[in-house]
Structure 1
Amino acid sequence: MILVTGATSVIGQKLCELLAAHKKPFRAMCRKEEQLQNFRQQNIEAVLGDFTDTDSLRLAMEGCDTLFLVSPPNEKQLESEKKAIDAAKEEGITYIVRVSASDANLRISVPWAKAHAHIDHYLRSSGIAWTILKPTAFMQNFLTMTKPISKGYLPQIGGKGLVGYIDAKDIGVVAYHVLTAGEHKRATYYLNGPEALDMNEIAQQLSSVIGKKVRYLNLPSIAFRLLLRATGASRWLANGLVEQYAEVVAKHHDHDLGEEVYRLTGQQPSSFMNFAQAHRERFLGS
């Protein structure tokens, strides 16, 4: 039995969809009652659980031998995922597949990337068999910018940095194959989309999709930080995003393209153009 954490995320939803379609035994963990009922209406076994509540984690893991571990970036991510790994060990989980990040590094200034690196080290030293997935930046990140994009602007601070953006759904597909194939233990996989794009190229593709010129505005860091704060990002998140794009992307430190998605799944990952077309109405501001 597989316990899927982050079951309501884009990655988790795709993973649950595939597990259900292929009749693999799994349980979805979610935080809210309405999410629980939604899974049950789909005839999916689900349980309430919270990374901050060890007892709920242990109850969610009861009867499971495999854990899919993913959580959103937040200031308590390191503490929360270490708790989940400890609970898994106590409950007899024998295999963990974890979503990390391609820029995870113990010395990096991006807070969630540093947390990911510490969690990866903690998992590898836990005594539990593991596989670590390290995707690059998600295409879904651009959905937070639909308002300015619909008005013809893409505000960012990525300079001319190239990123192999990946559709989060493709990470879910990789996770399904890794969890069900049984031959990926002690492996680390770097995941990316089919092409490396800079912000100008992203803007050009968005222009083509929405039928309106989208211009890339390479903002100063302070202006981008203020924009993020004005749109609701916490100080912690805004500072981290500035570091990520100004230090990792703009300074060309993102990892180069690989073909792990195709090798692991047998299918090519989605292109940014396909992603933009699928979300055209949102980019139009509809």
Structure 2
Amino acid sequence: MILITGATGSIGLELCKLLAQSNIKARAMCRKEAHLAQFIEMGLEAVIGDFDNPESLKKAMQGCKRLFLLTTAPNQLKHYKIGIDIAIETNVKHIVKISAADANIQSDVLWAKENAQGDHYLRSKNIGWTILKPTGFMQNFLEAKRGIAKGILQSINPNGSIACIDIRDIALVARVVLTEENHNGAMYFLTGSEMVSYKDAAEKLSKAFGYNIKNVIVSSDDMRNRLEAVGVENWRVDSIIAQEVVKNGFSVDVTGEVKRLTGQTPISFEQFAKDYEKQFEVNEQ
């Protein structure tokens, strides 16, 4: 049995769909009872669990040999440690942890720092582990959809680029490493198939949506105001602004890990734009 934490999130939900389609025994952990039904309908088990309620985690992990561990900031590190400790206590044999390609203990980016600390914590324990380190998600561009609908894609620096990855490819890799035996002690850097700058993204989105979208360079303050206006949490705004790696054009090179591990070519930015066109629509009220 595999326990999936973060099951209602973007990666977790895609992973649950893949496991259900493959008839693999898995249990989706949700914080709210209202979310259980969708996973039961898929043919999976579903259970209430919360990282802030250790007893609920113990119940969720009972009988599970593998754990998909995904938590989010701002309490990411705290929750990673709780999840790892309880996994060991309940005799889970292997943890597949989602980290980040830019994970670095000295980083000013919250998720990068806490993912690095979580990675080190997991590796220090006597339990099997695999760490997946994806780059930025293509789906993050949805946060800019209001500007995109007006023909504008804002960025802080014209030189920034990243080998962004579709979350569906992350889920596909996770399914592979959760169901195979030869990934213990491995760290996989997961990327898309090409480096994409904001200018590139604007051009690709323009072609996909059929109207002109221009990359506009703005100040950090302007970017902060735009993100706050669409409801992005303060900790995430701070981290995006602080993400010097992308702003200055340095990021993880394109890797072949998705193709090597899954046998499938990573989803292109063009395909992502086509598949998510409806989600980019803005209904002004």
For residues 152-208 of structure 1, give each alpha carbon's deviation from its aligned partner in whole angstroms, at most 9, with x where no partner exists. Answer: 001122431220110001000000111111100000000001110100000000110
Fraction of identical pairs, as percent: 45
Partner SS for 1:46: strand
Task: Map 1:211-250 to 2 at 5 A.
Answer: 211-244=210-243, 247-250=244-247
User: In the alignment, is the contact (CA less than 8 A) between 1:159 and 1:249 conserved in 2?
Assistant: no
Task: Map 1:167-246 to 2 at 5 A.
Answer: 167-244=166-243
* CA–CA separation in structure 1 for the residues paired with 2:17 and 2:145: 27
The 1:120–1:90 alpha-carbon spacing in structure 2 relative to 1, beyond 3 Å, is: same
**What's the counterpart of residue 270 of structure 1?**
267
User: In the alignment, is the contact (CA less than 8 A) between 1:39 and 1:46 conserved in 2?
Assistant: yes
* CA–CA separation in structure 1 for the residues paired with 2:115 and 2:136: 14
**What's the counterpart of residue 67 of structure 2?**
67
Partner SS for 1:176: helix
User: In the alignment, is the contact (CA less than 8 A) between 2:161 and 2:195 conserved in 1?
Assistant: yes
For residues 15-71 of structure 1, give each alpha carbon's deviation from its aligned partner in whole angstroms, at most 9, with x where no partner exists. Answer: 212211222111111111111122123332100111111111111001111100012
Number of aligned positions between the proteins: 283
**What's the counterpart of residue 113 of structure 1?**
112
Deviates most, 11-20 or 217-226: 11-20
Deviates most, 41-50 or 176-185: 41-50
* CA–CA separation in structure 2 for the residues paired with 1:62 and 1:215: 52
| Structure 2: runs of 5 or more not aligned | none
**What's the counterpart of residue 8 of structure 2?**
8
Deviation of 1:146 after TM superposition, in Å, equals: 1.2
* CA–CA separation in structure 2 for the residues paired with 1:218 and 1:20: 43
User: In the alignment, is the contact (CA less than 8 A) between 1:152 and 1:212 conserved in 2?
Assistant: yes
- The two structures have a TM-score, normalised by structure 2, of 0.96
* CA–CA separation in structure 2 for the residues paired with 1:42 and 1:34: 15
* CA–CA separation in structure 1 for the residues paired with 2:161 and 2:194: 9
* CA–CA separation in structure 2 for the residues paired with 1:77 and 1:169: 22
1:258 equivalent among 250, 255, 259: 255
Letter of the aligned partner of 2:86 in structure 1? A
User: In the alignment, is the contact (CA less than 8 A) between 1:165 and 1:193 conserved in 2?
Assistant: yes
* CA–CA separation in structure 2 for the residues paired with 1:274 and 1:218: 25
User: In the alignment, is the contact (CA less than 8 A) between 1:210 and 1:283 conserved in 2?
Assistant: no
Task: Map 1:151-166 to 2 at 5 A.
Answer: 151-166=150-165
* CA–CA separation in structure 2 for the residues paired with 1:177 and 1:42: 19
* CA–CA separation in structure 2 for the residues paired with 1:234 and 1:19: 31
| Structure 1: runs of 5 or more not aligned | none
Partner SS for 1:97: strand
- The two structures have a TM-score, normalised by structure 1, of 0.96
Structure 1 stretches of 4+ with a deviation exceeding 2 A read 281-286
For residues 66-98 of structure 1, give each alpha carbon's deviation from its aligned partner in whole angstroms, at most 9, with x where no partner exists. Answer: 1000122x2211101100101101101110000
Task: Map 1:97-112 to 2 at 5 A.
Answer: 97-112=96-111
**What's the counterpart of residue 92 of structure 1?**
91
Letter of the aligned partner of 2:81 in structure 1? K
Partner SS for 1:63: coil
Partner SS for 2:130: strand
Deviates most, 61-70 or 2-11: 2-11
**What's the counterpart of residue 41 of structure 2?**
41
